[in-house]
Structure formats: C-alpha cells, structure tokens
C-alpha cells in the first residue's frame, strides 16, 4: 500500500474522485459535441458525409474533437459504473444517503440513451444496427402505436425529419442528464465536481493521445436496402444489444427494469447501521453558523433563536444527519477552557459526546509517562489506533477526524502537557464523510473557524492521512516523533 502511495499520491487516486471525474468528462463531451454540431448536417445524405468531412478534412481538429467526444463518453461510462460499485461496496446508499443513491440510478438510463443516440446520428452501418435493434426493443412495448421498425424498412422510409428528431433527442437527453447530475448532488454540501487539476490535465492529455492514436471513425454508410453485415459495437454502451438479438426484447426489458428496480429499492432493503445523530443545545448555541457551514450533508439549517433575541440557532434535520460529528468539531462552545459548564457544547452527537471522549483521554494521559507524551487521533474508518498505544502514546478514535474541536488540541497541549499530536483517519481525498480531512486541515492552518489558537500548539500537530492500510506508516511517523521529542528533551 505504502509502495503504491510513493508513486501515486492519494489526491491522484482516480477512485477518490469518480463523481468529480464524471462531471469533468461530461463537460469534455459537451464541448466537443458542440464543435461537432456546428459542422453536422441533419439529413440522410448529409449526416454520414458531414461526419466523414469532420474526421478526415479538418487538419486533425475534427478528428481530435470526434475522438474526445467518443472516448470521454466511454470513460464516463467507466467512471460512473465504478462510482456506483464503490458507493455500493462502501455501503454509502443507506440512511440519509438514499437521496444521492436513488437520484443516481436514472442518470444511468440518461447516460446510455445519450451515447446510443450519438452512435445513431453518424448513420453508418453501426447506426443501422442500432436503429434496427432499438426499433425491435421499443416495438415490444405495448404502448407503441405505429411500430418504429416501419421507419427503417428501406432507404426510402427514412426521412430527414427523423434526423431532426434524433438531434433534438441527442441534445435534450444530455441536458436532462446534466439537470439530473445537479439534482443528484443537491443534498451534498460543497460537492466535489472538479477532479484535482493535475489529474484533470492528465486525463485530458490521455484522451487527446488516444483520439490521435486510435481515431474514432465510422463504418461504411448505412444502407437499408442491403442486408446488414456483422458490425463492431461499443461494448461499454451497447453491451445488452446482442442480447436483444439473441433472447428477444421482452427478457431484456425485464432484466433492465429489474436491475433498475433493485438498485432503486436497495436503500429500503438494507437496514442502515444505527448512528448517533447530532443535537443542538440552544443554551450553548451562539448562532455562529459554523456547524451549518461545515455539515457535509446539508443536515443543518439556521433559524431565529428560541429565546435569545437577535440570535440565530442551529437546527439538525434528523433524517439527513449521517452522524459524522463534523458539526461538533466546528462548535466554538466546545472549548474546554471554559471555567464552568465544561461539558456543554452548542451541538454534539447524542450518545458519543466529544466532552466524554476528552475526559477519557485526560484520564488516560494521567496514567502515562510524564514526558514525551503523544496523542494519536483518528477515526473509525482508518487504522485501529488501540494497536498503537504504548507507555508514551495514547489514542482517541472519533467517528470522523472533523469531529475534533481544535480547542481540544490547544487544551491538551497547554493543560495536560501533551508534547505531540498526530492526526490521522481516512486517506487523503477519501474521507468517508467527504469533508472531514479538508475541514480539519483548514482549521489547523487557520484558514477556517474554529482554529488552533496557539502557535506553539500548531507546531506540535502532525498529520498523516493514510486510511485503513496505513498502520506501518503510522508506526514510522510515531517513531519519528519520538526521536524528535527525545532530541528536543536531551
């Protein structure tokens, strides 16, 4: 694992930005599509010839644009499918995440329909295959008045009007896809819709190279008067087309609708793990709105305070709360420097209050060595920290690293003579609760409230975002901290 990290930084890991990459690929497809649209002719005779002209007569520009349009679409099929599988495997489809999951499923239909429509427009032999097989699929539906296949009996039955309809669909469906993509991330605060810049540049460069090396070309022109010969299909988008030929349209419809139904019903079928959710204590909520700004799932809103005039108060939407505790880490009232009511914070997780975890750490520190004390703070989605405990090292495991109020680090270093803090958790760019690592980083760098107050404390904090497989790296980091502390004390 650590070997992989050495040549592939976590922020470059394509698995960590699948949703963002899908958005990015969409924009590449849209921009290249716009270019093709300018030169495309919407007529039976013009469609094929205009695409040939774009491909072969435009000094590589058209060739690259066509390649980008095709290969970015193919990559999008890959990123979206892997994104779905990853969310499924990580169990991120239950509870409040049901909305992102359920709104993602129709995007698959829109994506496939957009791509298949694109292959159709070219009006080559592959388009002819798509036309005939799609007509067979749709004609099996009981709602069809005039069979679609009547439009493709021979060359005389295809009209220019049909191409106008096709282009209308090939613009309209992707626009619906875009709308659906924004609905999909509606309940996600600060959704990442652009991959890291270097990764984006690398992806674009690869697509351009592939477009030049393996040009996206047409097959021979469609000819409905001649029997269709065997054609090469795009296995990413037309993988189920041979089944329509082999099994007939009805089993394929049943399979497509069945898979869609199961995917849609999945959040209902799997009972979510019971998580503690956040609750507001109006007595200690000062209406700052920092929890509202940090909540990764838009589960908090602000309203006029119940009884403090001219103040606001946070409110938790229980159905949207995933129980990450990031709000508790953002609450300025969580500071343990208060002389009274130390136990109270404006917002905290019911059941696993931050202040109880702090008491446990303080108690534990009392039983450890007095010098060279190290605290390792991590989350339930990273390394099992209890395995790292030693005479000088204590640990604190939170639901998410964003749950840690920065004032705790100030307090423990100043009041409990803690010598070093090591923050860890998920790997970089892969926080289970999306924003925990980024927010905690910003709090440490004083780019975001609440932040670490004392400069000497800031110097004592190290971070290592290594995820579940990072035990060895953590041990190495702790050993290094130990050595530094020893040489400072010597």
Least distance (Å) from ligand HEM to the CB of residue 84? Answer: 4
List 50, 55, 100, 393, residue binding ligand HEM (CB under 6 A): 100
462 binds ligand HEM (CB under 6 A): no
CA distance 91 to 82: 14
Interface residue with ligand HEM, options 11, 41, 82, 92 (CB under 6 A): 92
The reply on whether position 385 binds ligand HEM by CB under 6 A is no
What minimum distance in Å lies between the beta carbon of 85 and ligand HEM? 9
Rounded-to-integer distance, Cα 184 and Cα 102, Å: 8
> Which one of 102-110, 135-143, 267-275, 459-467 is the stretch in contact with ligand HEM (CB under 6 A)?
102-110
Using rule CB under 6 A, residue 430 touches ligand HEM: no
Q: Which is nearer to ligand HEM, 21 or 166 (CB)?
A: 21
Site for ligand HEM in 13-52 (CB under 6 A): 19-20, 22-23
- Residue 111 C-beta: closest distance to ligand HEM, Å: 6
- Please tell me whether residue 298 binds ligand HEM under the rule CB under 6 A: no
The answer to whether 28 touches 68, Cβ cutoff 8 Å, is: yes
Of 330, 340, 473, 292, residue with least CA distance to 407: 330
Strands of 271-410, DSSP E: 278-280, 300-304, 312-316, 347-349, 374-379, 393-398
Distance CA(214)–CA(209), nearest Å, equals 8
CA distance to 19, 23, 200, per residue, from 185 (Å): 10, 11, 20
Q: How far is the CB of 83 from ligand HEM (least distance, A)?
A: 5
101 interacts with ligand HEM by CB under 6 A: yes
Distance CA 167, CA 173 (A): 10
Which residue in the set 64, 68, 107, 252 belongs to the binding site for ligand HEM (CB under 6 A)? Answer: 107
Does residue 97 belong to the site contacting ligand HEM (CB under 6 A)?
Answer: yes
* CB burial string 137-153: b at 16+ within 10 A, e below: beebeeeeeeebbeebe
Task: Look at residues 58, 36, 226, 183 and name the one whose alpha carbon lies nearest to residue 119.
Answer: 36
From the list 96-104, 236-244, 250-258, 324-332, the region that binds ligand HEM by CB under 6 A is 96-104
Please give the Cα distance from 182 to 169 (Å, whole number). 20
Nearest CA to 404 among 423, 382, 419? 423
185 forms part of the interface with ligand HEM (CB under 6 A): yes
CB 107 within 8 A of CB 184: yes
Q: For the CA atoms of the chain, what is the radius of gyration?
A: 28
Inter-helix orientation angle 249-269/98-121, to 10°: 160
Q: Taking CB under 6 A as the rule, does residue 381 contact ligand HEM?
A: no
Binders of ligand HEM in range 163-182 (CB under 6 A):
181
Nearer to ligand HEM, 92 or 305 (CB): 92
Q: Detail the DSSP E strand segments found in 156-280.
A: 278-280
By rule CB under 6 A, what count of residues binds ligand HEM?
A: 27
Residue 345 to residue 352: CA distance in whole angstroms: 13
Between 66 and 184, name the residue whose CB sits nearer to ligand HEM. 184
Spatial contact of 474 and 376, defined as CB atoms under 8 Å apart: yes
C-alpha–C-alpha distance, residues 111 and 176, integer Å: 10
- Name the residue among 151, 154, 19, 156 with its Cα closest to residue 80: 19
187 to 226, contacts with ligand HEM by CB under 6 A?
188, 191-193
> Which of 6/274 has CB closer to ligand HEM?
274
**Which of 69, 70, 434, 463 contacts ligand HEM by CB under 6 A?**
434
Site for ligand HEM in 55-84 (CB under 6 A): 80, 83-84
Report, in Å, the least distance between residue 189 CB and ligand HEM. Answer: 9
Q: Considering only 7-15, 106-114, 221-229, 385-393, which stretch makes contact with ligand HEM by CB under 6 A?
A: 106-114
111 near ligand HEM, judged by CB under 6 A: yes
Tell the smallest beta-carbon distance from residue 195 to ligand HEM (Å).
10
- Span from 100-108, 113-121, 217-225, 381-389 in contact with ligand HEM (CB under 6 A): 100-108
Please report the beta strands in 136-214, taking only residues with DSSP state E, as ranges in sequence order. none
Interface with ligand HEM (CB under 6 A)? 19-20, 22-23, 80, 83-84, 87, 92-93, 97, 100-101, 104-105, 107-108, 111, 181, 184-185, 188, 191-193, 263, 434
């Amino acid at each position: 694992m650590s070997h992989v990290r050495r040549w592939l930084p976590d922020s470059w890991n394509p698995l960590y930005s699948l949703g963002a990459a899908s958005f990015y690929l969409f924009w590449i497809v849209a921009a290249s599509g716009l270019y093709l649209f300018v030169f495309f002719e919407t007529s039976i005779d013009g469609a094929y010839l205009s695409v040939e002209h774009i491909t072969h007569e435009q000094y590589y520009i058209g060739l690259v644009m066509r390649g980008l349009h095709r290969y970015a679409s193919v990559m999008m099929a890959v990123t979206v499918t892997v994104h779905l599988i990853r969310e499924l495997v990580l169990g991120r489809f239950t509870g409040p995440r049901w909305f992102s999951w359920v709104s993602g499923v129709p995007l698959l239909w829109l994506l496939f329909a957009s791509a298949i429509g694109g292959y159709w427009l070219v009006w080559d032999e592959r388009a002819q295959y798509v036309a005939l097989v799609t007509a067979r699929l749709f004609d099996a539906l009981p709602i069809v008045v005039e069979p679609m296949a009547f439009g493709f009996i021979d060359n005389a039955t295809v009209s220019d009007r049909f191409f106008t309809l096709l282009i209308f669909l090939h613009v309209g469906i992707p626009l619906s896809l875009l709308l659906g993509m924004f609905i999909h991330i509606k309940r996600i605060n600060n959704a990442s819709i652009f991959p890291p810049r270097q990764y984006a540049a690398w992806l674009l460069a690869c697509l351009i190279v592939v477009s030049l090396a393996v040009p996206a070309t047409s097959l021979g022109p469609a000819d409905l008067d001649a029997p269709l010969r065997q054609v090469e299909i795009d296995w990413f988008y037309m993988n189920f087309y041979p089944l329509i030929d082999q099994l007939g349209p009805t089993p394929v419809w049943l399979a497509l609708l069945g898979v869609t139904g199961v995917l849609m019903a999945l959040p209902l079928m799997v009972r979510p793990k019971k998580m503690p959710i956040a609750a507001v204590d109006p007595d200690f909520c000062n209406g700052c709105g920092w929890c509202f700004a940090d909540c990764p799932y838009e589960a908090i809103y602000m309203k006029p305070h119940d009884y403090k005039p001219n103040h606001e108060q946070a409110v938790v939407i229980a159905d949207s709360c995933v129980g990450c505790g990031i709000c508790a880490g953002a609450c300025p009232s969580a500071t343990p420097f208060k002389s009274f009511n130390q136990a109270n914070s404006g917002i905290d997780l019911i059941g696993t209050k931050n202040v109880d975890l702090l008491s446990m750490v303080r108690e534990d520190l009392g039983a450890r060595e007095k010098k060279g004390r190290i605290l390792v703070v991590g989350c339930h989605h990273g390394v099992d920290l209890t395995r790292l405990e030693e005479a000088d090292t204590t640990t604190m495991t939170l639901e998410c690293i964003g749950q840690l109020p920065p004032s705790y680090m100030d307090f423990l270093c100043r009041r409990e003579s803690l010598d070093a803090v090591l923050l860890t958790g998920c790997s970089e760019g892969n926080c289970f609760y999306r924003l925990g690592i980024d927010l905690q980083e910003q709090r440490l760098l004083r780019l975001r409230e609440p932040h670490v107050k004392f400069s000497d404390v800031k110097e004592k904090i190290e971070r290592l975002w290594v995820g579940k497989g990072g035990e060895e790296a953590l041990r190495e980091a702790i050993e290094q901290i130990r050595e530094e502390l020893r040489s400072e004390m010597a």
